[in-house]
Chains A and B, each alone.
Chain A
Amino acid sequence: MSETKEIIISTDKIHTDQYLVNMGPQHPSTHGVLRLLVSLEGEVVHHIQPHVGYIHSGIEKMCEAISYPQIIHLTDRMDYLSAHMNNEAVALCVENALQVEVPDRVKYIRTIMDELSRLASHQLWWCVMGMDLGALTTFFYGLRDREHILDIFEETCGARMTVNYNLPGGLMFDIHPNFQKRVKDFLKEFKTKLPEYDELLTGNVIFRQRVDNIGHLTLEDAIAWGVTGPSGRGSGFSCDVRKHQPYSAYPMVQFEEKLDTKGDSFVRYRLRIEEMWESIHIIEQLIDNIPEGDYAVKMKGVIKLPEGEFYQRVESARGEFGVYIVSDGKKNPYRVKFRSPGFSNLFALNKMAAGHKIADLVAIMSTLDLVIPDIDR
């Protein structure tokens, strides 16, 4: 009886440890096989350590054994939502190395395809973002509109996601005769659907409470961690490759680089919605003016790059995508390195989410628009 009296609880002598919680690898809101080792103090996130490698597919190593046209079809499998941009990056890199100038028709079609896949990617991001925060309606509405773009891809490229439409020196096929009409029909319809997105989610009070003033990323951190794309531009980092190092038909079109300095989750969300309007604007400028001409330059049967190092960057839907090829003059590269936007964006998550609640981590991660095969390529 006397022992119980002696137990005096003093709160300042209790040693508290941080919880280490695995979020993932199988977690619905990580959008794939991503494992985050989260240290928690109660419900507050203290530190996040992402662990990648669960679906590492060794694409860079595989590229060393195959020829340049064959590399392109592997890049579809990395960031499957911006397959056209990935394809184009490799194609442009090889063309620059060989100093091949592609016809204007190719440039126009490539740019239209890029913007269409950016639209499709942002649509999927939007619907998944809503779903992560509990609004299942957005998931169906986003996928409904994305279906039209995938139909356009399927008709012209022959596949819905793993398109493999670009080749060094041009395109796999010419555009389908229905292409222009279909794209115009889609744009006309989508312009009435995009305001619905705002009404459904952007103005929604529950959604706003989850994203407003949450997940701040400063400009210094964005630059230091290499956060590009809409995520970086939300922090005021002007990093649009389409503006700063224009490729294909981007020098010929008028568009705005959307920037904001606030750097919270909602800004990253809003910039992507605004980018969709910009993409529509770019496609409208190009779709009626596709010049006549060849859809490909005649290339040699076996493409050999001169000895040296070549780098090409493009703006994918998630940020800056880079292809670095080291060639030793053979038909296959000596080394290929892909700079994937998702990888850099993911590791800035710690800066954004530390200090917030674990439920906010899901919202912040959604605004980064992660595609796991892009990270674990």
Chain B
Amino acid sequence: MNGLFEYIKTVFKGVGTLLTGMKITGSYFFRPWKHVTQQYPENRETLKMFDRFRGEVIMPHNENNEHLCTGCGICELNCPNGSIEIISMSVLTEDGKKKRAIDKHIYHLGMCTFCNLCVKACPTGAIIMGQEFEHAVWDRTKLTKVLNLPGSKIAQGVKE
């Protein structure tokens, strides 16, 4: 008899705990404005990533197609997985001296782990982290990018 009583007690206790849980889920069911999800592809226009978000390495250029990269190769040394290749060339300055300049700043996006070490190490601040995160492409060769734009040159007054 005692066992039966215990059994019935457990059944009621079980139903009670289930109702406690359902109380919470039910209360959220009737508060649909408390949602936290974003409708991602629809909100592309308004979607703003955080300032420090690390999406890709980019090299900003000013309106005269000038960048700040001297081609020193410190970013290449600091990269843990070889995502950056620097191809430098020597140019003649106005006073006839030979000077190193960037020919191609090759960035392999497919290998990048977005660790920020290259940006942190850059002495002139030539590369920064961009906020683009939609990197899907049909062809993986498109993941290899040349960061300095064609015809660009180093801005005046950048010291190595």
Contact = CB atoms under 8 A, between A and B. Distances in A.
Interface of A: 66, 69-70, 73-74, 137, 144, 147, 151, 154-159, 162, 164, 167, 172-173, 176, 196, 199-201, 203-206
Contacts of B14: 205-206
10 contacts: A70-B80, A73-B80, A137-B21, A151-B50, A155-B50, A159-B114, A173-B52, A199-B20, A204-B17, A204-B20
Contacts of A73: 80, 113, 115, 117
A66 B80 contact: yes
Contacts of B117: 69-70, 73, 164
Interface residues of B, number: 25
A204 B23 CA distance: 12
Given A154-B50, A196-B24, A205-B14, A172 B80 contact: no
Contacts, number: 70
A205 B18 contact: yes
B136 interface: no
B54 interface: yes
Contacts of A173: 52
B25 to A, nearest CB: 6
B36 A147 contact: yes
A70 to B, nearest CB: 4
Contacts of A158: 50, 52-54, 114, 116, 129
A220 B93 CA distance: 75
A200 B116 contact: no
Q: Which of B24, B36, B115, B129 has the most CB of A within 10 A?
A: B115
A214 B53 CA distance: 44
Interface in B16-61: 17-18, 20-21, 23-25, 36, 50-54
B98 to A, nearest CB: 25
A150 B129 CA distance: 19
A89 to B, nearest CB: 17
B114 to A, nearest CB: 6
A205 B13 contact: yes
A74 B80 CA distance: 9
The 6 closest A-B CB pairs, nearest first, are A73-B115, A70-B80, A205-B14, A158-B52, A158-B54, A155-B50
A137 B25 contact: yes
A205 B120 CA distance: 53
A302 to B, nearest CB: 9
B88 interface: no
Contacts of B52: 154-158, 173, 176
Contacts of A203: 17, 20-21
